[in-house]
Structure 1
Amino acid sequence: MNTHFHAIIPAGGSGTRLWPLSRRATPKFLHDVLGLGRSLIQATWDRVAPIVGEDRVWVVTGENHFDQVAEQLPHIARGQIIAEPSPKDSAAAIGLAAMLIAREDPDAIVGSFSADHSITNVDEFRLVIDQAVAAAETGDIVTIGIMPRNPATAYGYIETGDLLGLDGAPTARRALAFAEKPEASTARQYVNSGRYRWNAGMFIAKASSLLDILAEEDPALYSGLARIAEAWDTPDHDEVLSAVWPGLEKRAIDYVVAEPAAAAGRVIVIPGDFGWDDVGDFDSVARLRQPVPGEPRGVIS
Structure 2
Amino acid sequence: MNNNYYCIIMAGGMGRRFWPYSRKALPKQFLDFFGTGQTMLQQTYERYKQIISPENIYITTHTDYRDIVLKLLPEVRENQLIIEEERRNTAPSIAYAAHVIQKINPDATMIVTPSDNIILKPEAFKEAMLKGLDFASKSDKLVNIGIKPTYPETGYGYIQIDEEEESDFHKIKTFIEKPAKEFAEMFIESNEFYWNTGIFIWHVETILKAFHDMMPDICPRVECDVPDFRACPNSSIDTRILEKADNVYVQACDFGWADIGTWNSLYDNMPKDTEKNVIIDSNTLLYDCKNNIIQLPKDKLAVIQGLEGYLIAEQGNALLICKKDDQQAMRKFVNDVEMKFGEEYL
TM-score normalised to structure 1 length:
0.87
Q: Which residue of 2 aligns with 1:149?
A: 150
Letter of the 2:222 partner, please give it. Answer: L
1:183 is displaced (CA, Å) by: 2.0
Q: Does 1:285 align with 2:282?
A: no
Letter of the 1:99 partner, please give it. Answer: H
1:296 is displaced (CA, Å) by: 3.7
Cα separation, 1, equivalents of 2:142 and 2:112: 12
Q: Report the aligned-residue RMSD.
A: 2.0
Checking the alignment, whether the CA contact within 8 Å between 2:34 and 2:280 is kept in structure 1 is no
Match of 1:268 among 249, 253, 257: 249
In our comparison, the structure showing a higher alpha carbon Rg is 2
Q: Which residue of 2 aligns with 1:160?
A: 161
Q: Which residue of 2 aligns with 1:178?
A: 175
Match of 2:188 among 175, 186, 191: 191
Checking the alignment, whether the CA contact within 8 Å between 1:163 and 1:171 is kept in structure 2 is no
Checking the alignment, whether the CA contact within 8 Å between 1:33 and 1:289 is kept in structure 2 is no
Cα separation, 2, equivalents of 1:4 and 1:294: 41
Cα separation, 2, equivalents of 1:271 and 1:21: 34
Q: Which residue of 1 aligns with 2:344?
A: none
Q: Which residue of 2 aligns with 1:254?
A: 238
Checking the alignment, whether the CA contact within 8 Å between 1:34 and 1:288 is kept in structure 2 is no
1:143 is displaced (CA, Å) by: 0.9
Identity %: 28
Q: How does 1:228-247 map to 2 (within 5 A)?
A: 229=224, 232=225, 237=226, 241=227, 244-247=228-231
Checking the alignment, whether the CA contact within 8 Å between 1:42 and 1:72 is kept in structure 2 is yes
1:119 is displaced (CA, Å) by: 1.4
1:299 is displaced (CA, Å) by: 4.1
SS in 2 for 1:182: coil
Cα separation, 2, equivalents of 1:149 and 1:176: 20
Checking the alignment, whether the CA contact within 8 Å between 2:87 and 2:229 is kept in structure 1 is no
Q: Which residue of 1 aligns with 2:313?
A: none
Q: How does 1:47-86 map to 2 (within 5 A)?
A: 47-86=47-86
Q: Which consecutive unaligned segments of at least 5 residues does structure 1 have?
A: none
1:283 is displaced (CA, Å) by: 3.3
Letter of the 2:243 partner, please give it. Answer: E
Cα separation, 1, equivalents of 2:230 and 2:55: 30
Letter of the 2:133 partner, please give it. Answer: V
- Number of positions where the alignment pairs a residue of Structure 1 with one of Structure 2: 281
Checking the alignment, whether the CA contact within 8 Å between 1:146 and 1:276 is kept in structure 2 is yes
Deviations 1:169-212 (A, max 9, x none): x3222222212222222211111101100111111000100010
1:285 is displaced (CA, Å) by: 2.6
Q: Which residue of 1 aligns with 2:24?
A: 24
SS in 2 for 1:111: strand
1:163 is displaced (CA, Å) by: 5.9
1:78 is displaced (CA, Å) by: 0.7
Q: Pick closer, same or farther for the CA change 1:200–1:61 going to 2, 3 Å.
A: same
Whose strand proportion is higher, 1 or 2? 2
Cα separation, 2, equivalents of 1:77 and 1:278: 28
Cα separation, 1, equivalents of 2:265 and 2:154: 14
Whose helix proportion is higher, 1 or 2? 1
Q: Which has the higher contact order (CA 8 A, sep 6+)?
A: 1
Cα separation, 1, equivalents of 2:236 and 2:281: 41
1:123 is displaced (CA, Å) by: 1.2
1:149 is displaced (CA, Å) by: 2.1
Cα separation, 2, equivalents of 1:13 and 1:83: 12
TM-score normalised to structure 2 length:
0.76
Checking the alignment, whether the CA contact within 8 Å between 2:154 and 2:180 is kept in structure 1 is yes
Match of 2:199 among 198, 202, 210: 202
Cα separation, 2, equivalents of 1:172 and 1:289: 31
1:293 is displaced (CA, Å) by: 11
Q: Which consecutive unaligned segments of at least 5 residues does structure 2 have?
A: 273-278, 285-293, 299-346
